[in-house]
Each structure stands twice: as C-alpha cells, then as structure tokens.
Amino acid sequence: MTPPPPDSAWLGPVARWAGAPVVVTARAPLSGGYVADAVERIDLDAGGRPVSVVLKRARASEVAAMRAVAVVPGVDRPRLLAAGADRHGPWLVVPHYPGPALTSGDPPAEVWDVLGRVHTHWHRKRPRGLPVVDAGWWRGMVTGHALPAVRAARDRTGDARLAEVVGLLEAWATDQRLRTALAVLPRTLTHGDAHRGNVLLAPDGAVLIDWGNARVAPAGLDVATLAAQGITPPPAYRAPDLPPPLREVERLWATVQVHVQYLAFAADHLGTARVVEMVETAARALGELGPALRA
C-alpha cells in the first residue's frame, strides 16, 4: 500500500480552510472504488469544532482537474483544500461529504448546474495537465482498454458474439467518422465518469465526486454517460452553445464513446449479453454519425 503524505504537508492549508488550528483525532480507510487503500477519511478538531476531510493518492490529471474546477465561478464543491506530490506520487485533500451515493432516479439539480458551469467556463479552452480526447486518444482507449477485455472474455467463454465485437472494435479504432467528429467538435473540461455512483447525496446538497477520469473532450461525454442510465438533462443544465447540426454530431459521437469506454467493465462484470447490447447501441449511433457530419 502506498503511504499517505505526512500530515505536515496538508494540515496548514486545511487549517486555513477551517479557520482554526486543526488536530487529527481519527483516521480510517474509505471503502468503495478500486483504490480504497489509497483513500483515507481523517477526522479533525478545529478549535473545538469537528471537521472531516478526505486524503487520497491521485493521478496528476485528477489534481489538475480539481484545480481547473476550482476556478469556475459558482462552483465550490468538491473543493480542493490542498494538493502536492512526493516520491510516491501526487495527492490531494478535499472536504469529506457525508451521505450515500445516488442509486436510482435523477441527480439533483445542483449536479447538472456544476456540469453546466464547468462545461461553459472551459468551452474551447484547454486546462493544463489533462488528457485530450482526440483521434489518437480514442484509438489508444479502444486498443489498450476495451479490446483486451473483450478478447479475454471471448477466449474465456468461446462466445461467437464476442468475436464479432472484437472485429467491430478493431475497425472502430480508426473509423473515419469518429476521427472527423473529434476534429470538428469543440472541447471543454469534462468529468469523464459522471454516473450515479459518483453523485453523493450529502445533507447540505449533492456533490459530483471523483474527477479522476476528467479529460478535455466534447461536453456531450458527460451528458451521454448519464443518458446511458436513462437520465436526461433538466433546465438546470446549460450546455455550451453549439449550432443544432453540430449538437447532433456531439450527441452521436458521445453515445459511441460512452458505450465503448465502459465495455471493459461490462466484459469483466456484466456478461456477454450486456456487451452485445452496448455495442449495438454504439453501432446505431455510429451509423447515424456519417449523415449527421454531412448535414
């Protein structure tokens, strides 16, 4: 397990946020996710007032994303309290937002408000330190992430349907329609993984957490991630202004992107039927993308 940074590295900034000297009173690993052993809840005494923070080891891109979110007007959650790096890698500290994850229904309006503000503020701009979704990124994601998982599932099950999926993915990795869409669509800062499980229902309002998959991409990526769970944007979401033909290109590209980027998880955990369903959804959107690009 990677050790946490020393308390002396982050206690000062946290004390400034708390408005009083802070003393650690308890600490415990946070459960959930794939890096739980690198995430810690720390309880503090701030001049007689209890406060809690989360200290986590993070990729440099997540620290960059949190810094980019912090400059968006009207967005103060999640709040970056401290960040740094040592020989074990980057780390960050945010407030602990108590509450369960959203398991059903629509995210509260404040989640969509945050996405709208972030997408609009960074529209056609590139925050430093974040990966950019372009044709090369797409090809790497397909060949380095989705394809290995589907091939392994094919070899494990012998299911002919997965062999067909492998063939489609090999072709889609360099599909000209997707390359063209990424060449014409404007980008912004996106969360990259904005599903229900990353929405915490804290008592004082919902929070969109875990920006570890943030990337510079068309804004429709976050909308499509939620749409795949049957969620449609409410009026609280103000999308960056695009002409209707380009908006449709964004929607179709994002539908393909979302259903391919989660294929590895589906192949490992959800079974062949779900993989096939996701690929069929992506194929339909890709079939409509060509005419939309010509519109």
Q: How confident is the model at residue 236 (pLDDT cuts 50, 70, 90)?
A: confident
Per-residue model confidence as pLDDT tens digits over 191-214: 999 999 999 999 999 999 999 999
* Cα distances (angstroms) measured from residue 199 to each of 50, 100, 106, 157, 255: 24, 8, 10, 34, 21
Token pair 């996701």 is found at 278
Nearest to 101 by CA among 32, 29, 190, 200: 200
Whether 270 shows a pLDDT value over 60: the answer reads yes
Which domains occur in the chain, in start order?
Answer: 7-95 (3.30.200), 109-294 (3.90.1200.10)
Q: Cα angle at 233 between 230 and 239, to 5 degrees?
A: 140
Beta bridge partners of 92: 56, 83
Q: Residue 34's pLDDT is what?
A: 43
Q: Is the dihedral of CA 239, 221, 82, 201 positive or negative?
A: positive
3-state secondary structure of 208: strand
| Reported pTM | 0.93
Copy the structure tokens of residue 29: 């690993």
Copy the structure tokens of residue 203: 């008592």
Per-residue model confidence as pLDDT tens digits over 24-37: 999 998 865 444 44
